[in-house]
């Protein structure tokens, strides 16, 4: 057995490298979107969240994104008001669907005569949707099951909502009802949508029976609006200052946007889809159900625990998308607060691959440069080669650790790896210089024992410097690690791991190697 293999420090290095290599091979190293390509979306909540609310929000968003089928979706809180989502896609259509799903607070409410009779908390389960062709487009149904409390609440709320002559109320179902907001309805839209029906298709109003034609004002009353106005170019926006509420408006009213921005009034522009009701879209209405006497007269004890949300779409794909989005929102629950998109960054896959290979080449060239420098400095391959090998070992162990915990390697993480291996080279030069510096000639009998003690003394002195440097670097990185800033956490983590791997495994092993090399001279 080679004398070096008798040292537990060297054996620990070899075993650690082998374990890391196995982890890399069998578990694989996960790379972030910097190298794989994808998108980063940063959302901000309307208000700061408690730690419990942030954890709940992250779980809800993760549930909503499960349907995407993407191989890599990462959601994490950032501070107390922002959420960062990393996606392994840069497809504009997929990104748009994801944004629409996330941006919904997801607060489900069923309203009858301006009273909430059902909320998302009353839903126990959501069943698969049913999509069928209609005379105009497609109709869809999304059945859902109520909790026992939900059954009691709903049937108590709708009890008696049919008159003796058969006229019954409507159930208006919303996702994120615009409670407390101000709606500005363009005059031409108000005239076109003066009467609506139970589906958002405007052509359906002409074909609907008289008892299913609903005045627009009924939609507005149940939406929970603070106020609504029918406006044209003569509208005086000063009235909005008195109301002190967020505003919903159509794109043709963008002449009011400068006024809203000047006075810091939050606003939302809701586009109008051809042939569809703008009122439906502006109030986030999802379904209108006409009650019947057999529903309004039943007692909760004898009532069914299943209800249905109905809707309409232009084509099958649109219907499928609407029902799937609605199902995800109902199943995941409501977010603790509303949010908005504040930042979006996309990295095409080909650019990510280029960045990855660039970093690999950079690391390879750095190792060559280190080897040349060390060989030139010491003019002894027995010293230069171990330094290069330990540097390579550190890189393998860092990647192995990343594979073990499932950490995604991104550009900041790569920079941290390079930084930590750079300090590793510096430490090994310190150890080598300390060992090679000084020393006196002794008699042949005393030389081996005396020099051995001298070498260990120098190694201990060198390790005092190494540990002091490592401790200072780790202490400097800890605030960065716990800062919560996504772009810096990877850098701090890989730097700390690299330093710990160095001082605990590779530096002690290198000390044994350099002691052996010097003692053999």
Average pLDDT over residues 432-447: 55
Across 351-355, 417-421, 424-428, 502-506, which has the greatest mean pLDDT? 502-506
Does residue 273 have a pLDDT over 60? yes
Q: How confident is the model at residue 226 (pLDDT cuts 50, 70, 90)?
A: very high
Beta strand pairing status for 408-409 and 30-31? parallel
- The answer to whether the beta carbons of residues 414 and 491 sit under 8 Å apart is no
Q: C-alpha distances in angstroms, 21 versus 35, 293, 378, 510, 520? A: 21, 71, 30, 20, 31
Closest CA to 39 of 97, 106, 90: 90
Residue 195 is classified by DSSP as E
Supply the CATH classification number for the domain 3-33+348-519. Answer: 1.20.1640.10
Closest CA to 45 of 330, 341, 386, 246: 341
Q: What is the H or E stretch that residue 221 is in?
A: helix 216-222
- State residue 161's pLDDT score: 87
Q: What is the largest CA-CA distance in the chain?
A: 122
| Rounded-to-integer distance, Cα 403 and Cα 28, Å | 6
Q: What is the pLDDT of residues 164-206, one digit of tens each?
A: 877 888 899 898 899 999 999 999 999 999 988 887 887 777 7
| Rounded-to-integer distance, Cα 206 and Cα 506, Å | 80
- State residue 444's pLDDT score: 45
Q: What is the pLDDT of residues 103-147, one digit of tens each?
A: 777 788 999 999 999 888 888 888 888 999 887 788 888 888 888
Average pLDDT over residues 491-495: 86
Does residue 86 have a pLDDT over 90? no
Tell me the residue ranges of DSSP E strands in 372-506: 408-409
| Rounded-to-integer distance, Cα 36 and Cα 22, Å | 23
Domain boundaries, the chain: 3-33+348-519, 38-105+335-346, 106-332
Cβ neighbour number for residue 58 with a 10 Å cutoff: 16
| Rounded-to-integer distance, Cα 45 and Cα 336, Å | 9
- Right CATH for 38-105+335-346 from 3.40.50.300, 2.40.50.100, 3.90.1640.30, 3.30.70.3400: 3.30.70.3400
Tell me the residue ranges of DSSP E strands in 475-514: none
Average pLDDT, the chain: 83
Torsion angles phi and psi, residue 30, rounded to 5: -90, 135
CA 280 to centroid of chain Cα atoms: 30
Q: Is 269 helix (H, G, I), strand (E, B) or coil?
A: strand
| Rounded-to-integer distance, Cα 488 and Cα 482, Å | 9
DSSP, residue by residue, 406-429? TPEE-HHHHHHHHHHHHHHHHHHH
Does residue 22 have a pLDDT over 90? yes
Closest CA to 388 of 429, 425, 436: 425
- State residue 440's pLDDT score: 41
Torsion angles phi and psi, residue 454, rounded to 5: -65, -40
Torsion angles phi and psi, residue 38, rounded to 5: 150, -155
Going 379 to 380 to 384 to 385, the CA torsion angle's sign is: positive
Cβ neighbour number for residue 447 with a 10 Å cutoff: 13
Does residue 446 have a pLDDT over 60? no
- Helix 444-481 with 486-501: angle, nearest 10 deg: 160
Does residue 443 have a pLDDT over 50? no
Going 496 to 500 to 501 to 502, the CA torsion angle's sign is: positive
State percent of the chain over pLDDT 90. 18
- State residue 6's pLDDT score: 83
| Rounded-to-integer distance, Cα 71 and Cα 347, Å | 16
| Rounded-to-integer distance, Cα 66 and Cα 256, Å | 39
| Rounded-to-integer distance, Cα 365 and Cα 359, Å | 10
Beta bridge partners of 287: 173
Does residue 490 have a pLDDT over 70? yes
Does residue 453 have a pLDDT over 70? no
pTM (2 decimals)? 0.60
Average pLDDT over residues 359-369: 83
Q: Is residue 262 exposed (0-12), middle (13-18) or buried (19+ Cβ within 10 Å)? A: exposed
């Amino acid at each position: 057995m080679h004398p070096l293999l008798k040292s537990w420090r060297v054996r620990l290095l070899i075993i650690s490298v082998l374990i890391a290599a196995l982890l890399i091979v069998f578990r694989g190293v996960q790379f972030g979107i910097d190298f794989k390509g994808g998108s980063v979306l940063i959302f901000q909540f309307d208000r700061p969240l408690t730690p419990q609310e942030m954890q709940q929000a992250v779980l809800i968003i993760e549930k909503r994104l499960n349907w995407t089928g993407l191989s890599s979706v990462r959601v994490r809180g950032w501070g107390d008001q922002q959420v960062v989502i990393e996606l392994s896609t840069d497809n504009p259509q997929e990104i748009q669907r994801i944004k629409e799903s996330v941006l919904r607070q997801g607060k489900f409410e069923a309203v009858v005569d301006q009273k909430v009779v059902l909320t998302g908390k009353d839903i126990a389960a959501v069943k698969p949707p049913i999509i069928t062709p209609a005379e105009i487009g497609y109709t869809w149904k999304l059945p859902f099951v109520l909790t026992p409390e939900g059954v009691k609440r709903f049937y108590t709320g709708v009890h008696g909502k049919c008159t003796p002559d058969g006229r019954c109320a409507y159930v208006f179902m919303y996702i994120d009802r615009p409670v407390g907001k101000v709606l500005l309805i363009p005059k031409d839209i108000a005239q076109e949508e003066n009467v609506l029906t139970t589906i958002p298709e405007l052509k359906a109003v002409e074909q609907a029976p008289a008892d299913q034609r609903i005045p627009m004002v009924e939609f507005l009353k149940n939406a929970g609006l603070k106020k609504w106005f029918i406006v044209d170019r003569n509208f005086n926006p000063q009235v909005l200052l008195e109301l002190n509420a967020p505003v919903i408006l159509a794109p043709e009213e963008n002449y009011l946007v400068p006024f809203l921005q000047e006075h810091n009034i939050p606003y939302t522009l809701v586009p109008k889809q051809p042939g569809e009701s703008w009122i439906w879209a502006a109030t986030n209405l999802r379904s209108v159900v006409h009650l019947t006497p057999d529903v309004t007269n039943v007692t909760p004890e004898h009532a069914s625990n299943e209800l249905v949300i109905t809707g309409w779409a232009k084509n099958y794909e649109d219907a499928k998308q609407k029902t799937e989005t609605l199902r995800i929102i109902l199943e995941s629950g409501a977010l603790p607060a509303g949010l908005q998109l504040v930042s979006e960054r996309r990295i095409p896959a080909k650019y990510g691959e280029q960045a990855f290979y660039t970093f690999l080449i950079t690391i390879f060239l750095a190792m060559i440069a280190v080897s040349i420098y060390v060989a030139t400095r010491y003019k002894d391959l027995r010293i230069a080669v171990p330094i290069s090998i330990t540097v390579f070992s550190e890189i393998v162990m860092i990647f192995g650790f990343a594979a073990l915990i499932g950490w995604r390697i991104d550009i900041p993480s790569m920079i941290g790896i390079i930084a930590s291996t750079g300090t590793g080279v510096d430490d090994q030069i310190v150890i080598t210089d300390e060992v090679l510096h000084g020393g006196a000639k002794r008699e042949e009998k005393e030389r081996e024992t005396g020099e051995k003690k001298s070498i260990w003394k120098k190694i201990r002195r060198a390790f005092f410097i190494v540990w002091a440097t490592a401790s200072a670097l780790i202490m400097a990185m800890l605030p960065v690690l716990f800062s919560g800033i996504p772009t810096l956490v990877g850098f701090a983590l890989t730097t700390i791991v690299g330093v710990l791997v160095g001082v605990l495994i590779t530096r002690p092993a290198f000390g044994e190697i350099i002691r052996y090399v010097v003692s053999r001279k």
